[in-house]
Amino acid sequence: MSSVAMRIGTSNPFAGLEEIVTENVPLAPKTWYRIGGPARWFVEPRSLEELQEAARRCTDNELPIFVLGLGANLLVSDGGVNGAVFKLSEEFWRRVKFDGNVVEVGAGADVQKLILRTVRQGLAGIECLAGIPGTIGGGIRMNCGGKFGDLGARVTRVQVMDSTGTTFDRLKDDLVFEYRSTNISAPFILSATLELEEEDPEKIMKRTKEIWMYKRNSQPLNTKNAGCIFKNPRGLSAGALIDQAGLKGMRVGGAEVSTKHANFIIAHPGCHADDVLKLVKIIREKVWEKNEIHLESEVKIWA
């Protein structure tokens, strides 16, 4: 090994950034599942400049980059993540600015809090996301949504950043939002502009409550879960397929297929990420045996 390689290999890649970078940080408390291992490096930049500097250090040191939102659609493996996990939760990343029916919002803003603010302002369009936990950045990456609509439908601009720290604006014409996916490949989503529609706040609030009630009645909300585990195959419901395969209530270790909605895997106390992964594998095999349909995971898995 050359002396340069030795220096890189043994020294702290984030030297000088100690105020925003911590080592070996448990990720479980930062996810809805509350399971999984630590992040080798955990980065909480307070400004664009700090984010750019930390991202460049990752590139220079060939460290894999992960971006954490609210950890609501995420399963971290028991071994954790050997790379840098970024969280854009400082004030700068949570900014929200209204200009008529247009709202500019930082990637770290909480979708549920934003819904409440837009409803109060008499702006409709994102109430379809009621009850879907996450940040705007995570929501755009996944094109979060459900049967009442998705976030992508309201997005007119997304500011992104590559791993060298260069920022770009992606505009509506070149953005594609599909079922739980987008054509954004840059590792960092920084902010977004949403175009909403003026409407009576009471009417929007009524719709918001109805959407929330639908979720509450059909999903196991008071449990530790990561939302739907699998994407719906075109024209079908993954939940119904798993249900018809007789898998509701099936358990591996502390992981259980919800008896309320079969596309949810609940983590009971003592559950390991590996229990969830084993159950995912069994569900896939059983649904394939019965229907010859491959279930694709919706939840992000960090290994």
Nearer to ligand EPU, 38 or 69 (CB): 69
Minimum distance of ligand EPU from residue 132's CB (angstroms): 7
% helix / strand / coil in the chain, to the nearest 5?
35, 25, 40
Residue partners of 163: CB distance under 8 A and separation at least 6? 55, 56, 58, 59, 65, 187
Minimum distance of ligand EPU from residue 95's CB (angstroms): 26
Which residues here bind ligand EPU, judged by CB under 6 A?
Answer: 146-148, 215, 218, 227-228, 231-232, 237-240, 243, 261-263, 298
Minimum distance of ligand EPU from residue 103's CB (angstroms): 22
Q: CA distances (Å), 87 to each of 124, 154, 256, in order?
A: 28, 24, 29
Nearest residue to ligand EPU by CB is 146
CA distance 55 to 72: 24
Give the closest residue to 135 by CA, choosing from 191, 80, 57, 187.
191
Minimum distance of ligand EPU from residue 228's CB (angstroms): 4
Nearer to ligand EPU, 191 or 263 (CB): 263
Nearer to ligand EPU, 231 or 290 (CB): 231
Nearer to ligand EPU, 151 or 175 (CB): 151
Nearer to ligand EPU, 43 or 142 (CB): 142
